[in-house]
């Protein structure tokens, strides 16, 4: 098979393909075998009639026409891989020669990913929050530990925000008791807004033995009828927090002194913030790169990105037992708005992709054999196969060119993280290497936050 590529206007190329008549014969043979399954020939079982018999009954042209219909897409795909044509849309295929005999020649006009050049990427400036925690943030972290280890003690005074009350509560609507709003000896934090805001307002100032009767708006805004509550307070408790001293440090941590524990908290918070800052730098580089690609992008490029994101989302929802339509309904998301936002995100992603490709070309960023080896090993680890097997499979499937592009884009982003100007919100200059994890860090830094707060963050 012979191929050639000619660049056309409008991000299109003409891929010309010529298949030798002898090579094409195998496709004709396959076509007749396919036809044989559907054509009834006296004396032969379905699918068993030889080609010469079929030709005498339906003509040689039928097999060739079927072969052209079946084989041209395969020849086209083979030519695309051989020439590493980065197509982004289905082709327009026109048969030039060989409809009846001889060599088969066809042209395929197809839209390809635009190759762009950008300027301004060498002078990008990125601002991030300071990776060093402030004294206020450290104190807030310690305060969370104090709350976790606080004790509830009875008090003979009126309840205030932050106190805990034990209550018997009954909620109803239109004189019908709602089982989900009935509880006895229920411990409730005043000011937590755990049920309805009106409850917190009613509980400020109550003492043990007090009762409250009040109406409250239904949390579901579509419900017009209010809720009614009857509440009896049986106990008022205050949370007594431990002092921030060495004794508390020994109780709540692995350290014997408050100073040592505080230093450890600072280290852990810093490591977490460094990791977050790395992600922020990459995200802001992406935002800036998208702005450097001003031209309107080809619709097929955006459509392909949208489709990929939709498929990914559908798979994740399917794992949760949901369809996309169900998710849209449950989340109250308007379909048109969802698609508009998806298109905006896809457009930005496509711009970042083009920009990273452009930088890889401009900076002559190479993909080395060692880079491919690392990629093969990473894939092999995920699929639990030998890396040599993975290499063979990806090569035979024609995925190596795309893999090289992905690696080149990652290396371009890595290059950018080291070359952009990074400052924190106080104007201090930072390098990306400053955000690397400390040598003594085990890579699993997690702050010892109370379980309730971890749950809230999820």
Q: What is the CATH number of the domain that holds 293?
A: 1.10.3120.10
262 and 227 fall within a common domain: no
Q: Concatenated DSSP letters for 12-29?
A: EEEEEEEE-HHHHHHHHH
Q: What is the CATH number of the domain that holds 186?
A: 3.10.50.40
320 and 450 fall within a common domain: yes
394 and 274 fall within a common domain: yes
The answer to the question of residue 339 being in a domain is: yes
The DSSP output letter for 114 is: P
95 and 34 fall within a common domain: yes
Are 32 and 61 a contacting pair, CB within 8 Å?
A: no
The answer to the question of residue 201 being in a domain is: yes
Q: Residue 104: which residues within 8 A CB-CB, separation 6 or more?
A: 18, 19, 21, 24, 68, 72, 75, 95, 97, 98
What are the residue ranges in the chain where pLDDT is below 70? 38, 42-43, 45-48, 56-57, 59, 439-458
Angle at 246 between CA 240 and CA 252, to 5 degrees: 60
Are 288 and 419 a contacting pair, CB within 8 Å?
A: no
Q: Concatenated DSSP letters for 264-326?
A: HHHHHHHHHHHHHHHHHHHHHHHHHHHHT--SPPPHHHHHHHHHHHHHHHHHHHHHTT--HHH
Q: How far apart are CA 247 and CA 256, in angstroms?
A: 8
269 and 398 fall within a common domain: yes
The answer to the question of residue 142 being in a domain is: no
User: In this predicted model, what pLDDT tens digit does every residue of 226-246 receive, in sequence order?
Assistant: 999 999 999 999 999 999 999
6 and 71 fall within a common domain: yes
The answer to the question of residue 118 being in a domain is: no
Q: Residue 17: which residues within 8 A CB-CB, separation 6 or more?
A: 1, 2, 3, 75, 76, 79, 105, 106, 107, 108
162 and 297 fall within a common domain: no
Which backbone phi and psi does 19 adopt, to 5 degrees?
A: -115, 125
Q: What is the CATH number of the domain that holds 96?
A: 3.30.70.1050
Q: Which domain holds residue 77?
A: 2-111
What pLDDT was estimated at residue 31?
84
- The total domain count for the chain is 3
233 and 275 fall within a common domain: no
429 and 339 fall within a common domain: yes
Q: How far apart are CA 80 and CA 16, in angstroms?
A: 10
Q: How far apart are CA 188 and CA 203, in angstroms?
A: 10
179 and 293 fall within a common domain: no
What pLDDT was estimated at residue 48?
67
The answer to the question of residue 134 being in a domain is: no
Residue finishing a domain among 184, 208, 240: 240
The answer to the question of residue 116 being in a domain is: no
Of the candidates 132, 206, 184, which has an alpha carbon nearest to the alpha carbon of residue 435? 132
412 and 346 fall within a common domain: yes
Residue finishing a domain among 186, 206, 240: 240
What pLDDT was estimated at residue 449?
34
Number of Cβ atoms within 10 Å of the Cβ of 216: 17
What pLDDT was estimated at residue 439?
62
The answer to the question of residue 125 being in a domain is: no
Residue finishing a domain among 111, 142, 173: 111
What pLDDT was estimated at residue 53?
72
The answer to the question of residue 141 being in a domain is: no
What pLDDT was estimated at residue 448?
38
Q: Residue 70: which residues within 8 A CB-CB, separation 6 or more?
A: 27, 30, 31, 34
What pLDDT was estimated at residue 444?
40
381 and 275 fall within a common domain: yes
- What does pTM read for this prediction? 0.76
Of the candidates 362, 354, 387, 356, which has an alpha carbon nearest to the alpha carbon of residue 372? 387
């Amino acid at each position: 098979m012979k191929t050639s590529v000619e660049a056309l206007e409008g991000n299109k190329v003409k891929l010309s393909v010529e298949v030798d008549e002898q090579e094409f014969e195998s496709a004709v043979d396959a076509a007749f075998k396919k036809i044989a399954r559907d054509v009834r020939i006296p004396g032969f079982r379905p699918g068993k009639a030889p080609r010469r018999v079929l030709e005498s009954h339906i003509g040689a042209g039928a097999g060739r026409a079927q072969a052209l219909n079946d084989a041209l897409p395969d020849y086209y795909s083979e030519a695309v891989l051989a020439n590493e044509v980065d197509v982004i849309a289905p082709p327009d295929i026109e048969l030039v020669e060989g409809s009846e005999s001889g060599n088969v020649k066809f042209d395929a006009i197809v839209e390809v990913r635009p190759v762009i050049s950008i300027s301004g990427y060498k002078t990008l400036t990125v601002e991030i929050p300071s990776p060093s925690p402030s004294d206020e943030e450290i104190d807030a972290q310690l305060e969370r530990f104090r709350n976790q280890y606080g004790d509830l003690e009875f008090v003979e005074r009126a309840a205030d925000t932050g106190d805990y009350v034990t209550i018997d509560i009954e909620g109803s609507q239109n004189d019908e008791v709602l089982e989900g709003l009935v509880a006895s000896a229920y411990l409730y934090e005043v000011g937590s807004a755990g049920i309805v805001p009106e409850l917190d307002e009613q509980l400020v100032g109550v003492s043990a033995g007090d009762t409250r009767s009040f109406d409250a708006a239904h949390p579901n805004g579509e419900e017009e009828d209010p809720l009614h509550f009857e509440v009896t307070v049986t106990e008022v408790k205050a949370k007594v927090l431990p002092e921030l001293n060495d004794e508390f440090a020994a109780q709540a941590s692995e350290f014997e002194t408050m100073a040592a524990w505080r230093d450890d908290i600072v280290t852990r918070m810093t490591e977490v913030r460094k990791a977050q800052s790395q992600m922020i730098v990459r995200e802001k580089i992406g935002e800036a790169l998208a702005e450097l690609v001003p031209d309107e992008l080809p619709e097929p490029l955006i459509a392909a990105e949208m489709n990929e994101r939709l498929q990914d989302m559908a798979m994740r929802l399917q794992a949760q037992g949901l369809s996309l339509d169900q998710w849209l309904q449950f989340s109250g998301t308007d379909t048109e708005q969802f698609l508009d936002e998806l298109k905006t995100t896809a457009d930005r992603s496509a711009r970042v992709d083009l920009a990273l490709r452009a930088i890889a070309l401009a900076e002559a960023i190479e993909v080395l054999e060692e880079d491919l080896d690392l990629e093969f090993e990473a894939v092999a680890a995920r699929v639990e196969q030998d890396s040599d097997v993975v290499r063979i499979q990806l090569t035979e499937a024609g995925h190596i060119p795309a893999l090289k592009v992905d690696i080149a884009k990652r290396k371009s982003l890595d290059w950018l993280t080291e070359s952009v100007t990074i400052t924190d919100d106080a104007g201090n200059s930072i390098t990306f290497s400053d955000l690397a994890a400390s040598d003594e860090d085990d890579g699993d830094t997690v702050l010892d936050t109370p379980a309730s707060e971890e749950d809230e963050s999820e």
